[in-house]
Amino acid sequence: MALKGITVVISPLISLMKDQVDGLAERGLPATSLNSSLSTSEVSERVADLRSGKTRLVYVAPERFRNKGFQSLLAELNVSLLAIDEAHCISQWGHDFRPDYIRLGAVVKALPNARIMALTATATQEVRDDIAKQLGLGQAGRPVPTVFVSGFRRDNLRLVVSHISTHGQKMDRIAKILATFKTGIVYCSTRKQVERVGVMLEEAHIKHLIYHAGLNDEQRRRAQERFMGGEFPIVVATNAFGMGVDRSDLRFVIHWDVPGSIEAYYQEVGRAGRDGKLSHCELLYNYADVRTQEFFLDGSNPDPSIILSVWDEVRAILSKGPQACSLEEWGGRILSTTNKITVHTCMGLYERCGLVEREIQAGSRCYTTSLIAGGDLKRLRDMLPTLEEKRRRDMKKLDLMLRYTNTHQCRHQFILDYFGEKEGLAGACGCCDHCGFDPALRPRPPTEEEWPLIQKLLSCVGRMDGRFGKNTILAVVSGSKAKDIIERDLDKVPTYGALSGIPIETLKALFDELVRAKTILLSPDQYAVASLSPLGREVVWRRQSITLKWPSPHSQRPSPLPVLSPRTPKNAKKALRGAPLPDTDRVLSALEENIFEELKDWRQEEAAAQGVPAYIVFGNKTLKAIAIMRPTTYSELEKVTGVGPAKLDAYGDDLLKLIKQLDCG
């Protein structure tokens, strides 16, 4: 408002625009928006207000720049500021690249007198550099931009990762969280998983809403309004639910599945605790869930041969004339790939390379797609090496996300390091599962009584020679007589039993503190093998000191919520395998025998489709158990031995549907 001309704000969501404009209007500020939900007369009226100067602030979606009429309007107006929200979408190295943001470089070039402001909550150094490059900042007479990096530190967010084996355990964990933190979001990676979790919450009589891109516009709008209005305390959603969500009293964010990047994860947990109060953010991690992100990664980064094959099909379809349909419908028409995400990615590439033109239809998700006469396939071929680089970077992002799930470092510090915020933490954060949840406990040097514990534990790490992880090392130093310790002659290690009188919880806390103090190094893979760092060797001989956030030897770190161990204890493994099978050797009833035979026929079809032996899908005992138990929900099906998370995800819908049909028959 301090500038003389028009300010254009680029925002990716209609609902977000509406909230912003409503808030400004309440303050008497002349703001409006132009979006696809408006009628022609409404658009004309708002454009007239912009031309007259009655309106000074206008919100638009990036898709608006497809409209040649709007481009002409911008040339008429005195645009003094172009503000770009969710600016990470500009960069193909970002976690949520959107092709429509690519046009913004040309928009900036066409507005040489406008100031440019680009804002995002999650951008690494390389993404920040790429945003400036794509917008042409620091080029063609524009000054080099000033870059501000701050705000990543959120001390009120309690960050936890729980390694969990089954869907049933995940539901148990959610129930514990809801007992303490009442309002929040449960994020799932897929629409199917949102529906499943919704069913499980319904079975538990937990009031909730669901939200995903498969719902129509009105259903999504209604769901968001009911949640934001406080009518429902919980929403289960894909990442389609997020931008524009600014409910200040969100007390938790739970991730049912692992996200594809640190950026996506931190943007989503950042929706909790916006009022500054303590909020709980927990990732329910199961390595099997990673396959979903790998599927998304493949879809977003298709093989060059697939890109060219899909193009042949698209060109053949468009040669008959322009096509008006949604991306979902395009996915059903293409035969080169079954991955609809791949088709979505390819259509964006073809548009960027000048092979097709797409114009969104007002008030719908449909595009009118046309071939561009004289389109040059060479531009697409020249882009293929860049796409390979993008795939490599996306794989690295997923790898770093997995490192976060397995790190023994302070989780807040891990995130600050990732985004490059220079203002780090002086010590343990007091608000993650590794640092504990007691901010009153401050780092301090060891007492004389504590020094021998540190030296003995570090000495044991050194003598284990970088071959074992935390649990084995603690078993040795505490003098465990477990069978595997004895069989591997680890009871012969000189430090065996050196700390046998110390409670195991204290040893775990001490080990984690020594990791944070960088005296113990853990391998970045899932095994987290421990070895001494150069600093650790110096500390063993007391040639250097360290400060530790460490309770007294007989206390345990407080935690209002029990945090599951990254390594499942042996005595819990049996419980994680599910309920015991019923007696599958007994004679089946006529109904059970019929269901069993139908299940075998279904299995044979699945095996043939995959080109694998039938037993790879399910063994006979598991099918018999299903026939006897006749499960009706995902929770019941998961209790059958032989139905793990991966098979539940692959076959659960089909099995429950088949059982329902046969049981009713």
- Cβ(31)–Cβ(25) below 8 Å: yes
Percent of the chain at pLDDT above 90? 29
Q: 186 — phi, psi (to 5°)?
A: -110, 115
- Cβ(558)–Cβ(438) below 8 Å: yes
Which residues does 316 contact at the CB level (< 8 Å), separation at least 6? none
Is the pLDDT confidence value at 460 over 90?
Answer: yes
Q: Of residues 365 and 127, which shows the higher confidence score?
A: 127
Ramachandran quadrant class, 536 (left: phi over 0; alpha: psi -120 to 50; beta: rest): alpha
DSSP state at residue 491? G
CA pair distance 95, 296, nearest whole angstrom: 12
Report pLDDT digits (tens) over 295-304: 999 998 999 9
DSSP string, 186-239: EE-SSHHHHHHHHHHHHHTT---EEE-TTS-HHHHHHHHHHHHTTS-SEEEE-T
Pairing of β 530-532 and β 520-522:
antiparallel
- Write a three-state SS string for 434-460: CCECCCCCCCECCCCCCHHHHHHHHHH
**Positive or negative: CA dihedral 367, 370, 371, 375:** negative
Is the pLDDT confidence value at 595 over 70?
Answer: yes
Count CA atoms within 13 Å of residue 380 on its CB side: 24
> What is residue 627's three-state secondary structure?
helix
Question: For residue 44, how far is the Cα from the chain centroid?
Answer: 40
Tokens of 491: 């009871």
The whole-number pLDDT of residue 639 equals: 77
The whole-number pLDDT of residue 363 equals: 58
- Cβ(148)–Cβ(128) below 8 Å: no
Q: Of residues 242 and 474, which shows the higher confidence score?
A: 474
CA pair distance 390, 518, nearest whole angstrom: 33
Least confident among 249-253, 459-463, 604-608: 604-608
CA pair distance 17, 446, nearest whole angstrom: 55
Tokens of 513: 């503190």
CA pair distance 265, 270, nearest whole angstrom: 8
Tokens of 171: 């539901």
CA pair distance 613, 621, nearest whole angstrom: 16
Instruction: Identify the CA nearest to 530 among candidates 605, 463, 441, 443.
Output: 463
Is the pLDDT confidence value at 607 over 90?
Answer: no
Which residues does 307 contact at the CB level (< 8 Å), separation at least 6? 346, 349, 380, 384, 387
Q: Of residues 188 and 522, which shows the higher confidence score?
A: 188
Instruction: Identify the CA nearest to 246 among candidates 273, 210, 271.
Output: 271
DSSP state at residue 63? G
- Cβ(85)–Cβ(11) below 8 Å: yes
**Cβ–Cβ contacts within 10 Å for residue 228, how many?**
16
CA pair distance 454, 458, nearest whole angstrom: 6
Q: What's the order of all strands across the beta sheet hosting 279-285? A: 157-163, 279-285, 252-255, 184-187, 234-237, 209-211
CA pair distance 228, 230, nearest whole angstrom: 5
**Cβ–Cβ contacts within 10 Å for residue 296, how many?**
17
The DSSP bridge partners found for residue 118 are: 84
Domains recognised in the chain with CATH numbers = 6-135 (3.40.50.300), 157-285+407-419 (3.40.50.300), 294-375 (1.10.10.10), 451-556 (1.10.10.10), 590-664 (1.10.150.80)
Is the pLDDT confidence value at 3 over 80?
Answer: yes
pLDDT band for position 563 (50/70/90)? very low
Q: 581 — phi, psi (to 5°)?
A: -65, 145
CA pair distance 597, 619, nearest whole angstrom: 13
Is the pLDDT confidence value at 597 over 90?
Answer: no
The DSSP bridge partners found for residue 211 are: 237
Report pLDDT digits (tens) over 179-232: 888 899 999 999 989 998 998 888 888 899 999 888 887 888 888 888 888 889
The whole-number pLDDT of residue 562 equals: 41
Across the chain, mean pLDDT equals: 84
Q: Of residues 575 and 510, which shows the higher confidence score?
A: 510
Question: Could you tell me the CA-to-CA distances from 12 to 59, 309, 327 in Å, in that order?
Answer: 10, 31, 18
pLDDT band for position 579 (50/70/90)? very low
Q: Measured over all CA atoms, what is the biggest interatomic distance in the chain, rounded to whole angstroms?
A: 87
Tokens of 173: 């964990």
Q: 209 — phi, psi (to 5°)?
A: -120, 160
The whole-number pLDDT of residue 557 equals: 39
The angle that helices 191-203 and 645-664 make with each other, rounded to 10 degrees, is 60
Percent of the chain at pLDDT above 70? 90
CA pair distance 656, 648, nearest whole angstrom: 10
Helix residue spans in 577-633 (DSSP H):
590-610, 614-617, 620-629
Question: Could you tell me the CA-to-CA distances from 565 to 165, 173, 284, 559 in Å, in that order?
Answer: 12, 13, 12, 13
User: How confident is the model over 511-521, as a mean pLDDT?
Assistant: 86
Report pLDDT digits (tens) over 69-95: 888 888 888 999 999 998 988 887 776
Instruction: Tell me what percent of the chain is helix, strand and coil, each rounded to the nearest 5.
Output: 50, 10, 40
Exposure b/e, 621-650, CB count within 10 A at least 16 = b: ebbbbbbbbebeebbbbbbbeebbbebbbe
The whole-number pLDDT of residue 424 equals: 66
Report pLDDT digits (tens) over 479-499: 999 888 998 999 999 999 999
Give ∠ CA 112-115-117 in degrees, rounded to 5.
130
The whole-number pLDDT of residue 80 equals: 94
pLDDT band for position 438 (50/70/90)? low
Q: Residue for token digits 């928006």?
A: 33
The whole-number pLDDT of residue 58 equals: 94
CA pair distance 597, 578, nearest whole angstrom: 24
Q: How far is the first Cα of the chain from the last one, in angstroms, to the nearest whole number?
A: 69
**Cβ–Cβ contacts within 10 Å for residue 119, how many?**
14
**Cβ–Cβ contacts within 10 Å for residue 498, how many?**
20
Least confident among 34-43, 114-123, 557-566, 610-619: 557-566
Instruction: Report the amino acid identity of residue 580.
Output: P
Question: Could you tell me the CA-to-CA distances from 405 to 76, 283, 298, 318, 378 in Å, in that order?
Answer: 52, 8, 22, 45, 42
Burial class (CB in 10 A: 0-12, 13-18, 19+), 37: middle
> What is residue 640's three-state secondary structure?
strand
- Cβ(86)–Cβ(226) below 8 Å: no
CA pair distance 189, 259, nearest whole angstrom: 7
The whole-number pLDDT of residue 101 equals: 86
Is the pLDDT confidence value at 148 over 80?
Answer: yes
Least confident among 171-175, 273-277, 424-428: 424-428
Q: 531 — phi, psi (to 5°)?
A: -145, 160
The whole-number pLDDT of residue 68 equals: 81
